[in-house]
Amino acid sequence: MARKWYIAIIVVVIAAMVALVLHVADFVVDDHHNEVAQTEIESDTIIAEYNGNNICEVLVELGSVKTSSITSKSIRVVNSSSAPLLLLDHTTLCRCMDLRYSRESIGVGGYEDITLTFDSRGEWGNVGNYMEIITSVENTPIVLWIDAYVE
């Protein structure tokens, strides 16, 4: 009789462990689906998460660009710092790039979509450029590294 109880307890423990494993696996699958859905939604937008403590560096890959054309890329600046953020100005080494953004404050936890424009006239082959966005936090800019191939 004691043996039957022992077997019953083992069966219940194994069933509970299987149920727990399946439950955890279900959460992992749900999280993966959420990540995939979020990636699909934001596939055209580059995310620049700004924490206010370090320089925020972002690679902007434009891919192949036809010669004498103008292309643009959307960049979402997310303010994950503890204070409002202002994008004050931007500098670049090449007149082929420009940046459009508002002069309004980005609140804590907020974001702003900015637009980088690349004019390929006068450019050819592999093009690598640099743009710095000066922010309201001293010595912590947002740096955009731009990569394109002009054909």
Q: In the predicted model, is pLDDT for residue 10 greater than 80?
A: no
Residue-wise pLDDT tens digits, 55-106: 999 999 999 999 999 999 999 999 999 999 999 999 998 889 999 999 899 9
CB 105 within 8 A of CB 86: yes
Average pLDDT over residues 9-24: 61
Q: In the predicted model, is pLDDT for residue 116 greater than 90?
A: yes
* Among candidate residues 104, 122, 121, the one with its CA nearest the CA of residue 113: 104
Q: What pLDDT sits at residue 8?
A: 65
What's the rounded Cα separation, in Å, for the pair 51 and 29? Answer: 30
More confident residue, 20 or 41: 20
Average pLDDT over residues 19-23: 55
The chain-wide mean pLDDT, for the chain, equals 82
Question: 43: pLDDT confidence band, cut at 50, 70 and 90?
Answer: low
